[in-house]
Amino acid sequence: MGLPDRDAAWALVQEWITSDSLRKHVLAVEAAVRAYARHFGEDEEFWGVTALLHDLDFERHPDMDDSVNGHPRTALRMFREWGYPDEMIEAVAGHAPFLGIPRRTRLASALYASDELTGLIMAVAYVRPSKDLRDVEVSSVKKKWKDKLFAAAVNRQDIEEGAAELGVDVWEHVRIVLEGMKLVAGDLGLDGRLARPE
């Protein structure tokens, strides 16, 4: 069995993830990784579905110190049982540096590089008066990047390492991810609706 199609993958997300913020996170990462697939001329569906499923078990198994069932170990086990492709499984494993799995493909590096960055970009959009991701520019992200207290949980070193693995400058990386995310601003709730009066 290969990787599921996008509709089946989204159904899995809806089954496993009830948190609105976590659903938005996987949608943001999917958009970012799809943008990289287009950038590199890779299989956009394969890359997108991989990204969509990368945090499938996080809500149910968030304890990353649990060496048996902690995120992403439960998902990786299920993916193997379901016969998902090795490249997909390795990419999901590679986004969790504590597992020590080398990222040997562009897909793995794109997932790792985009995972943290999407959170920073969404945070930048949330503090804009318009609450519209489409108004965010690379310069907006650069300004907030320097403020270590802003979105302090975002690991900027992971973002830099991931960009280096992909062979792109960190601000080119921000541009590619941001442009991909702008295409799904509505799905992320960052299309200005939060700034509109009820």
**In the prediction, which pLDDT does 33 show?**
98
Can you tell me the mean pLDDT for 37-55? 97
CB atoms within 10 A of CB 129: 8
Q: Are 65 and 57 in contact (CB under 8 A)?
A: no
* Residue carrying the six token digits 């992909």: 166
Residue 51 in tokens: 């990204």
What is the CATH T-level fold of the domain 6-185, as seen in this structure? Hypothetical protein af1432 (1.10.3210)
For the cut 80, the answer to whether the pLDDT of residue 197 exceeds it is: no
* Residue carrying the six token digits 């799809």: 34
Closest CA to 29 of 165, 193, 162: 162
Tell me the one-letter amino acid at 172.
E
What's the pTM value of the predicted model, to 2 decimals? 0.94
Query: What 8-state DSSP symbol labels residue 194?
Result: G
**In the prediction, which pLDDT does 69 show?**
72
pLDDT confidence band for 196 (50 / 70 / 90) = confident
Condensed to tens digits (0 to 9), the pLDDT of residues 126-177 reads 999 999 999 999 999 999 999 989 999 999 999 999 999 999 999 999 999 9
For the cut 70, the answer to whether the pLDDT of residue 66 exceeds it is: no
Can you tell me the mean pLDDT for 72-99? 92
**In the prediction, which pLDDT does 67 show?**
67
For the cut 90, the answer to whether the pLDDT of residue 191 exceeds it is: yes
Query: What 8-state DSSP symbol labels residue 192?
Result: S
Give the orientation angle of helix 106-126 with respect to helix 44-52, to 10 degrees. 60
Q: Collapse the DSSP code of 191 into the 3-class scheme (helix H, G, I; strand E, B; otherwise coil) and give the result.
A: strand
CB atoms within 10 A of CB 1: 8
